[in-house]
C-alpha cells in the first residue's frame, strides 16, 4: 500500500504520525488488494480501527477511518460485519455534528441502499447513533431509510431491522414513535418469517415503555396478544422469555386483564420449550403482580398451572420450575406455603430427575425463612436424608453444602440425633468430591458447635478411620485432621490428633506416608515448639530418607515449610539465643554448617539447603 499524498498534505504531523497513518493505509490496502482476506485478520482489523481515533490526529480527523470500516461492514462474514458496525458506532461519538452530517450520515445512506444485503443489514445498527445529532431534514431521510429496510425483500435485512427497532424507537421524538414505529412494529410482528416476528417481540418491551398508558391497549396489546398465540413455538418462546419485562412495561392494570391469561396459556403450551421458559418466569411474574390482589391471582390462576408442571413429562420443564418455585413461599406466606407448596416441594424432592432434586435442595433457605427450620425438618428432612444417599453424586454434594446451614438452625442436639451419622458416612463415599466436601463440612460444623463438641463427637470417629483397611479412608483421616486442627485448637491437636498422624508415617502405602508429611506441615503452626522438636522432627527426618521419591520430596518440603513458619513466629527475634536455636534446628536436618571468617560455607546436597543457607546469611547480617 502506497502512502496517500492527500493525507500527507492535510496532516502536517511529525514523522511518527506519518508512520502511523502509513501503517493504517497499508492495513487497508492489505485487506483490499491482496490475498489476506482471512476472516480472523478482517475481524482483528475491524476491532482495532475503532481505537484509532487518537492515532489519526484525534476527533478532527476521525472521518478518515470511515472508508475501511465501511468496506468491512459489507463483507460476507457476520462476525466481521458486526465488529465493523461496533467500531463505527464507537467512532460516531467522536464526530462533531457537522462532520456527522458531512461524513458519517452519507456512509449510512450508502450502506442502506447497497445492492448486497450485507451492507443493508449493517446499516440497521447505525441509524440510532447518528439520528439524535443531525438536522431535521436528515432525520426525515434516516426515518425513510429505516422504513424501507423494515420492508426489504431479504429476510436477513428485515431481521436486522427488527432487532434494532426498539433501539431506534428510543431516540425518536414521541410523535414519530406513534406515527412510524407502531406501524413498523405491527408489520414486523406479522412477517411471514418467524425469525423476524420473534425479534419484534423483543422490540415490544422498548416501545411499550415509550408510550403513555392509555395508548398501550390500542397500539401494542393487540400485537402482543397475537404473538402470545403465534403458530410458531419460537415466537411464543420469546414472549415467555421476555414476559417479566413486558409485565413491567405495560403496568399492573393490563397485566391483570391481559397478561395473566396469556401467562396461563404459556404455562400450558403444547411445546416443552415454551413451558420451560414460562416456568422459569413464575417467581418474577408473581413478584410483579399488583400487591392488592397478588395472593388471589396466584392462588386462583397461577398455582393450578404450577401443580400441573410439577408432574410434567419433560424434565427440563420440571427443572426450570424447581429452580424458582421455592421463591413463591416468600410471596404466599407461611400458611399457604405449608398447605399448598410443601407437598409440591416434597414431590420434586422425590422426582426421578436429579437436576430437579438438586434445584430444590439448593433453594431450601427460601422456605426456611418463611416456615422455620422445625417445620421444614419435619416435612422435608426424611426426603433430605434419602437424598443424602442418592445414586447421583451431585445431588449428594448439594445436600452436603446445605448441611452447615441446616445444622446451625436445627441445633446441636437435633443434629446429633438425626444427621451426625449421615455426615460421617460421607467421609467414606466412593467419590472423592464427596469426601472432600464432607471434610469441609466437618470443619464448618466444628466452627458452629465448638471444639468441645468436636472432641466428644467428631474427633474419635475421624481418628478411628486411621485403622481402616481402605487406604483412601486412611487418607481421609489425614485430610480431616488438616481441616480440623485449627478449629479444634492446640490441646486437642497435640494430644489426640498428632499421635495418630505420627503412627501413620509407618503406613505401607506411599500415598498415605507422603500425606503424613503434608499433614505435619499443615498442623505444624498449631503445635508448640517442643512437639515440633521432639515428635515431628524425627518423623520428618525418617520420611526424608524414605525409599519412595514422592515421600522423600514432601518430607523435605515439610521441613522447609516448618522452617518458614519458625522464621515468622515470635521465636525468632534476632537475639543470639534464638539464632543458636535456629542454627541447631537447621543443622539437625541438613549437612554440617560452619561460619569461618564471617562467611557461611555449607555442603549443599538438596534444594532446601539453599533456602537454609540464604536464611542463615540473613540472620548473620542482622545478628
Overall average pLDDT of the 605-612 stretch? 44
The reported pLDDT for the residue numbered 409 is: 64
Alpha helices in 113-242 (DSSP H): 117-124, 127-130, 136-150, 155-163, 165-171, 174-176, 182-189, 194-210, 213-219, 221-228, 233-241
End-to-end CA gap in the chain: 69
Return the closest-CA partner of residue 139 out of 101, 170, 107, 86: 101
Overall average pLDDT of the 571-586 stretch? 50
Return the closest-CA partner of residue 168 out of 135, 139, 138, 198: 139
Least confident of 397-401, 481-485, 605-609: 605-609
Phi, psi at 232, each rounded to 5° = -90, 130
- Given a cut of 80, is residue 615 above it in pLDDT? no
The reported pLDDT for the residue numbered 581 is: 53
pLDDT in tens, 416-459: 877 888 888 889 889 999 999 999 989 988 888 888 888 888 89
Phi, psi at 594, each rounded to 5° = -125, 160
Overall average pLDDT of the 152-170 stretch? 93
CA separation for the pair 218, 420 (Å, rounded): 63
The reported pLDDT for the residue numbered 395 is: 81
Between 254 and 375, name the one with better pLDDT: 254
Our measurement of the distance from residue 440's CA atom to the centroid of its chain's CA atoms, rounded to an integer in Å, reads: 22
What is the chain's mean pLDDT, rounded? 82
Query: Which DSSP state fits 126?
Result: T
| Percent over 70 (pLDDT), the chain | 84
The reported pLDDT for the residue numbered 593 is: 36
In SS3 terms, 343-400 reads as: HHHHHHHCCCCHHHHHHHHHCHHHHHHHHCHHHHHHHHHHHHHHHCCCCCHHHHHHHH
The reported pLDDT for the residue numbered 14 is: 41
pLDDT in tens, 224-257: 999 999 999 999 999 999 999 999 988 888 888 8
Overall average pLDDT of the 97-109 stretch? 89
- Given a cut of 90, is residue 279 above it in pLDDT? yes
Between 474 and 392, name the one with better pLDDT: 474
Overall average pLDDT of the 467-472 stretch? 91
Q: Say which residue the cell 520430596 belongs to.
A: 553
Task: Tell me the three cell numbers of residue 371.
Answer: 416456615
pLDDT in tens, 114-145: 888 999 999 999 999 998 888 889 999 999 99
The reported pLDDT for the residue numbered 549 is: 92
- Given a cut of 60, is residue 154 above it in pLDDT? yes
In SS3 terms, 163-186 reads as: HCHHHHHHHCCHHHHHHHHHHHHH
Least confident of 2-11, 555-564, 582-591: 2-11
- Given a cut of 90, is residue 197 above it in pLDDT? yes
54: how many CB neighbours lie within 10 A of its CB?
11
Overall average pLDDT of the 365-373 stretch? 78
The reported pLDDT for the residue numbered 281 is: 94
Overall average pLDDT of the 170-179 stretch? 89
- Given a cut of 80, is residue 10 above it in pLDDT? no
Helix axes 15-33, 39-49, angle to 10 degrees: 140
The reported pLDDT for the residue numbered 565 is: 63
Residue 140, helix vs strand vs coil: helix
- Given a cut of 80, is residue 163 above it in pLDDT? yes
Q: Say which residue the cell 396469556 belongs to.
A: 262
Grade residue 367 by pLDDT with cuts at 50, 70 and 90.
confident
The reported pLDDT for the residue numbered 578 is: 52
The reported pLDDT for the residue numbered 8 is: 43
Overall average pLDDT of the 518-524 stretch? 89
CA separation for the pair 17, 24 (Å, rounded): 11
CA separation for the pair 587, 600 (Å, rounded): 13
How far lies 84's CA from each of 48, 66, 149, 190, 297, in Å? 9, 10, 19, 31, 49
- Given a cut of 90, is residue 85 above it in pLDDT? yes
Return the closest-CA partner of residue 262 out of 223, 295, 308, 215: 223
Grade residue 2 by pLDDT with cuts at 50, 70 and 90.
low
The reported pLDDT for the residue numbered 37 is: 56
The reported pLDDT for the residue numbered 161 is: 94
How open is the CA angle 265-271-273, to the nearest 5 degrees? 100
Q: Are 410 and 418 within 8 A, CB to CB?
A: yes
The reported pLDDT for the residue numbered 382 is: 79
Task: Tell me the three cell numbers of residue 586.
Answer: 537447621
- Given a cut of 90, is residue 531 above it in pLDDT? no
262: how many CB neighbours lie within 10 A of its CB?
22
Beta-strand runs (E) in 432-521: none
Helix axes 233-241, 260-267, angle to 10 degrees: 120
Query: Which DSSP state fits 130?
Result: H
Amino acid at each position: 500500500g502506497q502512502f496517500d499524498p492527500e493525507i500527507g498534505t492535510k496532516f502536517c504531523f511529525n514523522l511518527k504520525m506519518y508512520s502511523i497513518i502509513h501503517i493504517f493505509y497499508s492495513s487497508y490496502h492489505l485487506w483490499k488488494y491482496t490475498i489476506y482476506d482471512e476472516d480472523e485478520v478482517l475481524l482483528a482489523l475491524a476491532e482495532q480501527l475503532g481505537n484509532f481515533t487518537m492515532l489519526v490526529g484525534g476527533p478532527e480527523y476521525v472521518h478518515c477511518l470511515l472508508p475501511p470500516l465501511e468496506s468491512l461492514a459489507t463483507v460476507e462474514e457476520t462476525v466481521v460485519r458486526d465488529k465493523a458496525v461496533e467500531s463505527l458506532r464507537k467512532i460516531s461519538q467522536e464526530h462533531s455534528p457537522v462532520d456527522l452530517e458531512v461524513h458519517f450520515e452519507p456512509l449510512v445512506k450508502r450502506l442502506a441502499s447497497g445492492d448486497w444485503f450485507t451492507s443493508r443489514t449493517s446499516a440497521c445498527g447505525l441509524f440510532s447513533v447518528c439520528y439524535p445529532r443531525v438536522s431535521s431534514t436528515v432525520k426525515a431521510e434516516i426515518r425513510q431509510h429505516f422504513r424501507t429496510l423494515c420492508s426489504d425483500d431479504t429476510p436477513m435485512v428485515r431481521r436486522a431491522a427488527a432487532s434494532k427497532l426498539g433501539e431506534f424507537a428510543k431516540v425518536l421524538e414521541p410523535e414519530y414513535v406513534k406515527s412510524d414505529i407502531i406501524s413498523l412494529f405491527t408489520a414486523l410482528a406479522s412477517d411471514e418469517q418467524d425469525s423476524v416476528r420473534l425479534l419484534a417481540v423483543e422490540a415490544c418491551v422498548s416501545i411499550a415503555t415509550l408510550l403513555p398508558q392509555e395508548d398501550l391497549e390500542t397500539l401494542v396489546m393487540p400485537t402482543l396478544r397475537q404473538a402470545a398465540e403465534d403458530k410458531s413455538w419460537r415466537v411464543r418462546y420469546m414472549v415467555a422469555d421476555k414476559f417479566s419485562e413486558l409485565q413491567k412495561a405495560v403496568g399492573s392494570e393490563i397485566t391483570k386483564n391481559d397478561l395473566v391469561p396469556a401467562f396461563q396459556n404459556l404455562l400450558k403450551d403444547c411445546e416443552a420449550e415454551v413451558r420451560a421458559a414460562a416456568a422459569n418466569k413464575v417467581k418474577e411474574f408473581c413478584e410483579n403482580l399488583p400487591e392488592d390482589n397478588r395472593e388471589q391471582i396466584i392462588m386462583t390462576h397461577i398455582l393450578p398451572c404450577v401443580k400441573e408442571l410439577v408432574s410434567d413429562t419433560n424434565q427440563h420443564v420440571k427443572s426450570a420450575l424447581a429452580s424458582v418455585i421455592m421463591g413463591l413461599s416468600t410471596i404466599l406466606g407461611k400458611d399457604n406455603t405449608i398447605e399448598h407448596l410443601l407437598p409440591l416441594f416434597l414431590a420434586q424432592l422425590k422426582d426421578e430427575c436429579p437436576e430437579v432434586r438438586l434445584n430444590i435442595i439448593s433453594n431450601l433457605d427460601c422456605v426456611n425463612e418463611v416456615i422455620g427450620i422445625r417445620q421444614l425438618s419435619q416435612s422435608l428432612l426424611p426426603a433430605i436424608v434419602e437424598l443424602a444417599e442418592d445414586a447421583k453424586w451431585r445431588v449428594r454434594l448439594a445436600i452436603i453444602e446445605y448441611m452447615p446451614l441446616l445444622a446451625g438452625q436445627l441445633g446441636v442436639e437435633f443434629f446429633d440425633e438425626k444427621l451426625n451419622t449421615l455426615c460421617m458416612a460421607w467421609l467414606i463415599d466412593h467419590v472423592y468430591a464427596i469426601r472432600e466436601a464432607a471434610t469441609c463440612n466437618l470443619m464448618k460444623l466444628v466452627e458452629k458447635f465448638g471444639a468441645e463438641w468436636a472432641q466428644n463427637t467428631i474427633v474419635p470417629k475421624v481418628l478411628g478411620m486411621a485403622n481402616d483397611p481402605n487406604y483412601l479412608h486412611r487418607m481421609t483421616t489425614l485430610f480431616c485432621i488438616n481441616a480440623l486442627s485449627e478449629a479444634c485448637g492446640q490441646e486437642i491437636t497435640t494430644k489426640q490428633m498428632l499421635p495418630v498422624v505420627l503412627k501413620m508415617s509407618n503406613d505401607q502405602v506411599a500415598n498415605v506416608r507422603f500425606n503424613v508429611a503434608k499433614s505435619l506441615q499443615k498442623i505444624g503452626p498449631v503445635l508448640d515448639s517442643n512437639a515440633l522438636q521432639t515428635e515431628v522432627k524425627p518423623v520428618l527426618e525418617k520420611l526424608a530418607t524414605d525409599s519412595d521419591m514422592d515421600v522423600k520430596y514432601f518430607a523435605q518440603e515439610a521441613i522447609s515449610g516448618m522452617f518458614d513458619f519458625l522464621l515468622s513466629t515470635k521465636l525468632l527475634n534476632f537475639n543470639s539465643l534464638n539464632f543458636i536455636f535456629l542454627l541447631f534446628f537447621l543443622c539437625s536436618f541438613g549437612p554440617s554448617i560452619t561460619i569461618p571468617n564471617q562467611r557461611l560455607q555449607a555442603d549443599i546436597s538438596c534444594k532446601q539447603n539453599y533456602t537454609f543457607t540464604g536464611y542463615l546469611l540473613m540472620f548473620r547480617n542482622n545478628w
